[in-house]
């Protein structure tokens, strides 16, 4: 398996070796790799297993267990839609359905160079649901039009202002 573009095995090895002495080093290493490269290439499992004296299965299992670790770079825009109960009750599932019907986009299946859409369960903004994290910024009171505009690259601040105007 070849490494994804942007992955530097030597730099990754240096990160792994630099953190290997920490107690419980696996997660700090994974976070550091994701921070450095924007993703954790599948080849990292062997580096981690070797450095921490783990089986390849243990290293891979840790990487695959945590949904925040991605195996390839995210799109230029990352939208994390909340699908917890409060957001569902406020129309979150309708947003997901409309995204699929109107735009042909599926949460957790849309992941390309332009757009990544992921599901999360609770952003802690339940009173203003449905909510999403868009490029790390919280957007509440999300509706179909704003979500569509955000998928097209509209400024996050515009969606936040529009949501605030609906009070």
Instruction: State the average pLDDT over residues 78-107.
Output: 91
| Cα gap 141→128, rounded to integer Å | 5
With respect to residue 1, please indicate whether it lies within any of the assigned structural domains.
no
Same domain, 54 and 134: no
Same domain, 152 and 102: yes
- Between vectors from CA 105 to CA 103 and to CA 108, what angle results, nearest 5°? 165
Same domain, 83 and 147: yes
With respect to residue 34, please indicate whether it lies within any of the assigned structural domains.
yes
Q: Which domain holds residue 23?
A: 9-65
3-state helix, strand, coil in the chain (%, to 5): 50, 10, 40
Same domain, 107 and 140: yes
Residue pLDDT, tens place only, 35-82: 999 899 999 999 999 999 999 999 999 999 988 898 888 889 999 999
Which of these ranges, 109-113, 131-135, 146-150, has the smallest mean pLDDT? 109-113
With respect to residue 2, please indicate whether it lies within any of the assigned structural domains.
no
Spatial CB neighbours of 154, under 8 Å, sequence gap ≥ 6: 146
When pLDDT is cut at 50, 70 and 90, the band that residue 106 belongs to is: confident
The overall average pLDDT reported for the chain is 91
When pLDDT is cut at 50, 70 and 90, the band that residue 103 belongs to is: confident
The CATH number covering residue 97 comes to: 3.40.30.10
Same domain, 157 and 100: yes
């Amino acid at each position: 398996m070849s490494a994804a573009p942007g992955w530097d095995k030597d730099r990754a090895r240096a990160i792994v070796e630099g953190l290997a002495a920490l107690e419980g080093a696996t997660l700090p290493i994974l976070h550091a790799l994701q921070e450095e490269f924007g993703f954790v290439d599948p080849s990292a499992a062997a580096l981690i297993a070797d450095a921490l004296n783990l089986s390849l299965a243990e290293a891979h299992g840790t990487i695959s267990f945590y949904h925040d670790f991605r195996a390839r770079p995210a799109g230029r825009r990352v939208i994390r839609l909340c699908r917890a109960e409060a957001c569902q009750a406020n129309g979150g599932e309708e947003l997901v359905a409309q995204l699929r019907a109107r735009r042909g986009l599926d949460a957790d299946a849309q992941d390309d160079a332009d757009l990544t859409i992921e599901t999360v369960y609770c952003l802690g903004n339940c009173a203003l649901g449905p909510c999403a994290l868009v490029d790390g910024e919280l957007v509440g009171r999300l509706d179909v039009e704003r979500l569509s505009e955000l998928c097209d690259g509209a400024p996050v601040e515009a969606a936040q202002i529009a949501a605030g105007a609906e009070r």
